[in-house]
Structure 1
Protein backbone atom coordinates (compact mmCIF):
# COMPACT_ATOMS: atom_id res chain seq x y z
CA UNK A 1 0.00 0.00 0.00
CA UNK A 2 1.42 3.43 -0.90
CA UNK A 3 2.35 5.79 1.90
CA UNK A 4 0.56 9.10 2.47
CA UNK A 5 3.63 10.85 1.05
CA UNK A 6 3.42 8.80 -2.15
CA UNK A 7 -0.30 9.46 -2.52
CA UNK A 8 -0.13 13.21 -1.81
CA UNK A 9 2.92 13.90 -3.99
CA UNK A 10 2.07 15.22 -7.46
CA UNK A 11 3.79 12.79 -9.84
CA UNK A 12 4.89 13.64 -13.36
CA UNK A 13 6.21 11.37 -16.08
CA UNK A 14 9.82 11.74 -17.20
CA UNK A 15 9.75 14.69 -19.64
CA UNK A 16 12.38 12.92 -21.78
CA UNK A 17 10.20 9.84 -22.18
CA UNK A 18 8.25 9.57 -25.44
CA UNK A 19 4.93 8.12 -24.27
CA UNK A 20 3.32 7.67 -27.70
CA UNK A 21 3.15 4.08 -28.89
CA UNK A 22 2.35 4.99 -32.52
CA UNK A 23 2.78 8.75 -32.42
CA UNK A 24 0.27 11.20 -30.97
CA UNK A 25 -3.33 10.90 -32.11
CA UNK A 26 -4.71 13.56 -34.43
CA UNK A 27 -5.67 16.77 -32.63
CA UNK A 28 -9.24 16.84 -31.40
CA UNK A 29 -11.23 19.83 -30.26
CA UNK A 30 -12.05 19.92 -26.55
CA UNK A 31 -15.81 20.20 -26.13
CA UNK A 32 -17.39 20.34 -22.68
CA UNK A 33 -20.99 19.13 -22.56
CA UNK A 34 -23.54 19.11 -19.72
CA UNK A 35 -23.55 16.07 -17.45
CA UNK A 36 -25.19 13.09 -19.15
CA UNK A 37 -27.06 10.73 -16.80
CA UNK A 38 -26.27 7.90 -19.24
CA UNK A 39 -22.52 8.07 -18.50
CA UNK A 40 -22.61 5.66 -15.52
CA UNK A 41 -24.52 3.05 -17.56
CA UNK A 42 -22.05 3.44 -20.42
CA UNK A 43 -19.20 2.86 -17.97
CA UNK A 44 -20.91 -0.26 -16.58
CA UNK A 45 -21.28 -1.71 -20.09
CA UNK A 46 -17.59 -1.08 -20.89
CA UNK A 47 -16.50 -2.48 -17.52
CA UNK A 48 -18.53 -5.66 -18.08
CA UNK A 49 -16.92 -6.17 -21.52
CA UNK A 50 -13.44 -5.64 -20.08
CA UNK A 51 -14.06 -8.04 -17.18
CA UNK A 52 -15.37 -10.68 -19.59
CA UNK A 53 -12.38 -10.26 -21.91
CA UNK A 54 -9.68 -10.25 -19.21
CA UNK A 55 -11.12 -12.49 -16.52
CA UNK A 56 -8.83 -12.89 -13.52
CA UNK A 57 -6.39 -10.32 -14.92
CA UNK A 58 -8.82 -7.62 -13.71
CA UNK A 59 -7.80 -6.84 -10.13
CA UNK A 60 -9.91 -3.69 -10.08
CA UNK A 61 -11.86 -1.42 -12.39
CA UNK A 62 -13.25 2.03 -11.60
CA UNK A 63 -15.15 4.81 -13.33
CA UNK A 64 -13.02 7.92 -12.80
CA UNK A 65 -12.70 11.37 -14.31
CA UNK A 66 -15.39 13.96 -14.77
CA UNK A 67 -18.03 11.65 -16.27
CA UNK A 68 -18.03 9.75 -12.96
CA UNK A 69 -19.23 12.82 -11.02
CA UNK A 70 -22.97 13.44 -11.18
CA UNK A 71 -23.78 16.98 -12.25
CA UNK A 72 -20.32 17.82 -13.58
CA UNK A 73 -20.00 19.02 -17.17
CA UNK A 74 -17.29 17.10 -19.03
CA UNK A 75 -15.84 15.94 -22.30
CA UNK A 76 -18.01 13.09 -23.59
CA UNK A 77 -15.23 10.59 -22.88
CA UNK A 78 -15.52 7.84 -20.28
CA UNK A 79 -12.34 7.47 -18.21
CA UNK A 80 -11.69 4.06 -16.67
CA UNK A 81 -8.90 2.92 -14.36
CA UNK A 82 -8.04 -0.75 -14.81
CA UNK A 83 -5.75 -2.52 -12.34
CA UNK A 84 -3.86 -5.57 -13.61
CA UNK A 85 -1.20 -7.70 -11.86
CA UNK A 86 1.69 -6.10 -13.80
CA UNK A 87 1.24 -3.46 -16.52
CA UNK A 88 4.60 -4.50 -18.02
CA UNK A 89 3.09 -7.90 -18.90
CA UNK A 90 1.28 -6.53 -21.94
CA UNK A 91 0.66 -9.99 -23.40
CA UNK A 92 -1.81 -10.54 -20.57
CA UNK A 93 -4.16 -7.70 -21.47
CA UNK A 94 -3.25 -5.92 -24.72
CA UNK A 95 -4.50 -8.56 -27.22
CA UNK A 96 -7.90 -9.06 -25.51
CA UNK A 97 -8.43 -5.30 -25.24
CA UNK A 98 -7.48 -4.83 -28.89
CA UNK A 99 -10.10 -7.42 -29.84
CA UNK A 100 -12.65 -5.14 -28.12
CA UNK A 101 -11.48 -2.23 -30.27
CA UNK A 102 -9.15 -0.50 -27.79
CA UNK A 103 -5.82 0.77 -29.13
CA UNK A 104 -2.75 1.15 -26.93
CA UNK A 105 -1.73 4.78 -27.37
CA UNK A 106 0.44 5.65 -24.35
CA UNK A 107 3.15 3.73 -22.51
CA UNK A 108 4.72 5.61 -19.58
CA UNK A 109 7.08 3.39 -17.55
CA UNK A 110 8.20 6.42 -15.52
CA UNK A 111 4.63 7.20 -14.42
CA UNK A 112 3.56 4.16 -12.37
CA UNK A 113 4.00 1.92 -15.47
CA UNK A 114 0.90 3.65 -16.89
CA UNK A 115 -0.62 2.43 -20.13
CA UNK A 116 -3.51 4.20 -21.84
CA UNK A 117 -5.85 2.71 -24.41
CA UNK A 118 -8.25 4.65 -26.55
CA UNK A 119 -11.61 3.45 -27.83
CA UNK A 120 -12.57 5.67 -30.74
CA UNK A 121 -16.36 5.29 -30.74
CA UNK A 122 -17.87 5.78 -28.30
CA UNK A 123 -14.87 7.53 -26.77
CA UNK A 124 -13.15 5.84 -23.84
CA UNK A 125 -9.77 6.41 -22.24
CA UNK A 126 -8.75 3.21 -20.45
CA UNK A 127 -5.87 3.74 -18.01
CA UNK A 128 -3.96 0.64 -16.90
CA UNK A 129 -2.00 0.55 -13.64
CA UNK A 130 -0.63 -2.08 -11.28
CA UNK A 131 -1.80 -3.01 -7.78
CA UNK A 132 -1.55 -0.52 -4.91
CA UNK A 133 -0.81 2.36 -7.27
CA UNK A 134 -0.83 5.84 -5.74
CA UNK A 135 -2.38 7.29 -8.89
CA UNK A 136 -5.51 5.12 -8.82
CA UNK A 137 -5.99 6.02 -5.15
CA UNK A 138 -5.70 9.70 -6.07
CA UNK A 139 -8.25 9.32 -8.89
CA UNK A 140 -10.80 7.71 -6.56
CA UNK A 141 -10.23 10.29 -3.84
CA UNK A 142 -10.67 13.18 -6.31
CA UNK A 143 -13.85 11.64 -7.74
CA UNK A 144 -15.34 10.98 -4.31
CA UNK A 145 -14.46 14.49 -3.08
CA UNK A 146 -16.16 16.15 -6.05
CA UNK A 147 -19.22 13.95 -5.56
CA UNK A 148 -19.69 15.34 -2.04
CA UNK A 149 -18.28 18.90 -2.22
CA UNK A 150 -20.46 21.15 -4.35
CA UNK A 151 -18.14 24.19 -4.11
CA UNK A 152 -15.12 22.32 -5.47
CA UNK A 153 -17.24 20.60 -8.13
CA UNK A 154 -18.39 24.03 -9.33
CA UNK A 155 -14.85 25.40 -9.13
CA UNK A 156 -13.52 22.53 -11.20
CA UNK A 157 -16.28 22.92 -13.78
CA UNK A 158 -15.44 26.62 -14.11
CA UNK A 159 -11.74 25.77 -14.56
CA UNK A 160 -12.58 23.23 -17.27
CA UNK A 161 -14.78 25.69 -19.15
CA UNK A 162 -12.18 28.46 -18.82
CA UNK A 163 -9.46 26.13 -20.17
CA UNK A 164 -11.29 25.35 -23.44
CA UNK A 165 -10.92 28.72 -25.24
CA UNK A 166 -7.12 28.47 -25.19
CA UNK A 167 -7.26 25.90 -27.99
CA UNK A 168 -4.37 23.55 -28.69
CA UNK A 169 -4.26 19.89 -27.73
CA UNK A 170 -6.01 18.02 -24.94
CA UNK A 171 -2.66 18.14 -23.12
CA UNK A 172 -2.71 21.97 -23.38
CA UNK A 173 -6.26 22.00 -22.00
CA UNK A 174 -5.18 19.71 -19.15
CA UNK A 175 -2.26 21.99 -18.35
CA UNK A 176 -4.50 25.06 -18.09
CA UNK A 177 -6.67 23.44 -15.41
CA UNK A 178 -3.84 21.73 -13.53
CA UNK A 179 -3.46 24.34 -10.78
CA UNK A 180 -7.15 24.09 -9.88
CA UNK A 181 -6.86 20.30 -9.74
CA UNK A 182 -3.84 20.52 -7.45
CA UNK A 183 -5.58 23.04 -5.19
CA UNK A 184 -8.52 20.65 -4.81
CA UNK A 185 -6.18 17.74 -4.12
CA UNK A 186 -4.45 19.78 -1.42
CA UNK A 187 -7.80 20.47 0.28
CA UNK A 188 -8.96 16.87 0.15
CA UNK A 189 -5.61 15.53 1.40
CA UNK A 190 -5.68 17.95 4.34
CA UNK A 191 -9.28 16.98 5.12
CA UNK A 192 -8.22 13.30 5.12
CA UNK A 193 -5.39 14.08 7.58
CA UNK A 194 -2.76 13.10 5.02
CA UNK A 195 -0.93 16.44 5.15
Structure 2
Protein backbone atom coordinates (compact mmCIF):
# COMPACT_ATOMS: atom_id res chain seq x y z
CA UNK A 1 0.00 0.00 0.00
CA UNK A 2 1.46 3.35 -1.03
CA UNK A 3 1.81 6.53 0.96
CA UNK A 4 -0.48 9.43 0.08
CA UNK A 5 2.35 10.84 -2.09
CA UNK A 6 6.07 10.28 -2.64
CA UNK A 7 8.79 12.10 -0.68
CA UNK A 8 10.68 14.55 -2.88
CA UNK A 9 13.50 17.07 -2.47
CA UNK A 10 12.57 20.44 -0.95
CA UNK A 11 10.78 22.61 -3.51
CA UNK A 12 11.22 26.39 -3.24
CA UNK A 13 7.67 26.75 -4.60
CA UNK A 14 6.10 25.24 -1.47
CA UNK A 15 5.79 28.57 0.41
CA UNK A 16 4.02 30.11 -2.62
CA UNK A 17 1.71 27.09 -2.85
CA UNK A 18 0.88 27.58 0.83
CA UNK A 19 0.12 31.29 0.28
CA UNK A 20 -2.11 30.54 -2.71
CA UNK A 21 -4.07 27.89 -0.82
CA UNK A 22 -4.39 30.12 2.26
CA UNK A 23 -5.97 32.78 0.02
CA UNK A 24 -8.48 30.21 -1.30
CA UNK A 25 -9.40 28.82 2.12
CA UNK A 26 -9.48 31.79 4.47
CA UNK A 27 -12.72 33.30 3.04
CA UNK A 28 -14.58 30.27 4.39
CA UNK A 29 -13.40 31.03 7.94
CA UNK A 30 -13.91 34.79 8.18
CA UNK A 31 -16.12 34.85 11.28
CA UNK A 32 -13.84 32.59 13.30
CA UNK A 33 -10.41 32.97 11.66
CA UNK A 34 -7.53 33.95 13.95
CA UNK A 35 -4.57 33.10 11.71
CA UNK A 36 -3.22 30.51 9.28
CA UNK A 37 0.17 28.83 9.66
CA UNK A 38 2.29 26.83 7.21
CA UNK A 39 3.23 23.67 9.11
CA UNK A 40 4.55 20.22 8.31
CA UNK A 41 7.68 19.35 6.39
CA UNK A 42 6.90 21.60 3.39
CA UNK A 43 7.24 24.54 5.81
CA UNK A 44 10.89 23.66 6.55
CA UNK A 45 13.37 24.97 3.95
CA UNK A 46 15.77 22.26 2.84
CA UNK A 47 13.75 19.32 4.18
CA UNK A 48 12.65 16.57 1.81
CA UNK A 49 8.92 15.97 2.16
CA UNK A 50 5.81 14.48 0.70
CA UNK A 51 4.69 17.44 -1.46
CA UNK A 52 1.53 17.92 0.60
CA UNK A 53 1.03 21.46 1.81
CA UNK A 54 -0.08 21.51 5.47
CA UNK A 55 -2.15 24.47 6.63
CA UNK A 56 -2.99 24.99 10.29
CA UNK A 57 -6.01 27.24 10.63
CA UNK A 58 -6.42 28.70 14.09
CA UNK A 59 -10.01 29.69 14.89
CA UNK A 60 -11.71 31.37 17.83
CA UNK A 61 -14.34 28.61 17.85
CA UNK A 62 -15.78 25.98 15.54
CA UNK A 63 -18.79 27.75 13.96
CA UNK A 64 -21.32 26.16 11.59
CA UNK A 65 -19.45 22.96 10.81
CA UNK A 66 -21.89 21.82 8.06
CA UNK A 67 -21.41 25.12 6.21
CA UNK A 68 -17.61 24.83 6.57
CA UNK A 69 -17.64 21.26 5.21
CA UNK A 70 -19.70 22.45 2.25
CA UNK A 71 -17.33 25.37 1.57
CA UNK A 72 -14.25 23.15 1.79
CA UNK A 73 -15.87 20.66 -0.60
CA UNK A 74 -16.17 23.43 -3.21
CA UNK A 75 -12.36 23.68 -3.02
CA UNK A 76 -11.89 19.93 -3.43
CA UNK A 77 -11.47 19.01 0.24
CA UNK A 78 -12.94 16.04 2.08
CA UNK A 79 -13.56 16.19 5.83
CA UNK A 80 -11.52 13.55 7.61
CA UNK A 81 -11.87 12.23 11.11
CA UNK A 82 -10.98 14.52 13.99
CA UNK A 83 -7.31 13.99 14.85
CA UNK A 84 -8.11 14.80 18.47
CA UNK A 85 -10.87 16.59 20.36
CA UNK A 86 -11.31 19.97 18.64
CA UNK A 87 -8.71 19.19 15.95
CA UNK A 88 -10.63 19.02 12.67
CA UNK A 89 -8.96 17.68 9.54
CA UNK A 90 -9.52 18.08 5.79
CA UNK A 91 -7.61 16.54 2.90
CA UNK A 92 -7.40 17.34 -0.80
CA UNK A 93 -6.30 14.81 -3.40
CA UNK A 94 -5.79 15.45 -7.11
CA UNK A 95 -5.85 12.41 -9.40
CA UNK A 96 -5.45 10.12 -6.39
CA UNK A 97 -2.44 11.99 -4.95
CA UNK A 98 -2.66 14.02 -1.73
CA UNK A 99 -1.80 17.68 -2.34
CA UNK A 100 -3.04 19.52 0.77
CA UNK A 101 -3.98 18.90 4.39
CA UNK A 102 -5.83 21.41 6.55
CA UNK A 103 -5.83 21.26 10.34
CA UNK A 104 -8.44 23.45 12.06
CA UNK A 105 -7.90 24.03 15.79
CA UNK A 106 -9.35 26.44 18.33
CA UNK A 107 -6.84 28.95 19.76
CA UNK A 108 -5.05 27.40 22.70
CA UNK A 109 -5.35 23.81 21.41
CA UNK A 110 -2.18 21.88 22.35
CA UNK A 111 -1.61 20.77 18.74
CA UNK A 112 -1.09 24.36 17.60
CA UNK A 113 1.92 24.88 19.87
CA UNK A 114 3.20 21.36 19.14
CA UNK A 115 3.10 21.73 15.34
CA UNK A 116 4.66 25.20 15.40
CA UNK A 117 7.39 24.19 17.87
CA UNK A 118 8.39 21.10 15.87
CA UNK A 119 8.45 23.12 12.63
CA UNK A 120 10.59 25.81 14.24
CA UNK A 121 13.02 23.28 15.76
CA UNK A 122 13.51 21.70 12.32
CA UNK A 123 14.00 25.12 10.74
CA UNK A 124 16.67 26.13 13.27
CA UNK A 125 18.64 22.87 13.68
CA UNK A 126 20.31 21.47 10.53
CA UNK A 127 21.43 18.26 12.29
CA UNK A 128 17.94 17.55 13.59
CA UNK A 129 16.49 18.30 10.15
CA UNK A 130 18.94 15.83 8.55
CA UNK A 131 18.10 13.10 11.08
CA UNK A 132 14.36 13.60 10.52
CA UNK A 133 14.81 13.51 6.75
CA UNK A 134 16.83 10.27 6.95
CA UNK A 135 14.12 8.69 9.12
CA UNK A 136 11.34 9.73 6.72
CA UNK A 137 13.20 8.34 3.71
CA UNK A 138 13.91 5.06 5.52
CA UNK A 139 10.26 4.75 6.57
CA UNK A 140 9.12 5.39 3.02
CA UNK A 141 11.57 2.84 1.59
CA UNK A 142 10.44 0.12 3.99
CA UNK A 143 6.75 0.95 4.01
CA UNK A 144 4.33 -1.93 3.47
CA UNK A 145 1.07 -0.82 5.09
CA UNK A 146 0.59 2.80 4.02
CA UNK A 147 0.36 6.15 5.73
CA UNK A 148 -0.61 4.80 9.17
CA UNK A 149 2.60 2.77 9.35
CA UNK A 150 4.61 5.80 8.17
CA UNK A 151 3.08 8.11 10.78
CA UNK A 152 3.55 5.53 13.55
CA UNK A 153 7.20 5.24 12.56
CA UNK A 154 7.74 9.00 12.85
CA UNK A 155 5.91 9.38 16.18
CA UNK A 156 8.69 8.19 18.55
CA UNK A 157 11.19 10.58 16.93
CA UNK A 158 8.81 13.54 17.17
CA UNK A 159 7.85 12.67 20.76
CA UNK A 160 11.54 12.44 21.76
CA UNK A 161 12.32 15.80 20.14
CA UNK A 162 9.31 17.37 21.81
CA UNK A 163 10.31 15.96 25.21
CA UNK A 164 7.52 13.40 25.53
CA UNK A 165 9.32 10.14 25.10
TM tier, smaller: 0.7 to 0.9
The alignment status of 1:180 with 2:161, answered yes or no, reads no
The answer to whether the 8 Å contact 2:32/2:62 transfers is: no
Residue 70 of structure 1, CA deviation: 0.2
Relative distance call for 1:88 and 1:54 in structure 2 (3 A) is closer
The answer to whether the 8 Å contact 1:54/1:96 transfers is: no
Q: Which string of whole-angstrom CA distances, capped at 9 and with x for unpartnered residues, describes residues 132-186 of structure 1?
A: 1111111001111110101110111011111111321211101112111112112
Please provide the CA RMSD for this pair: 1.9
Q: Which string of whole-angstrom CA distances, capped at 9 and with x for unpartnered residues, describes residues 59-115 of structure 1?
A: 12111000000000000111111122333741352222122221102234xx23221
Q: What residue number does 1:10 align with?
A: none
SS across alignment from 2:36: strand
The alignment status of 1:118 with 2:91, answered yes or no, reads yes
Mapped to 2, the partners of 1:169 and 1:88 lie a distance apart of 33
Q: What residue number does 2:132 align with?
A: 156
Q: What residue number does 2:56 align with?
A: 81
Name the one with the larger strand percent: 2
Where does the alignment leave 5 or more consecutive residues of structure 2 unmatched? none
Report how many residues are paired. 159
Structure exhibiting the larger radius of gyration computed from Cα positions: 1
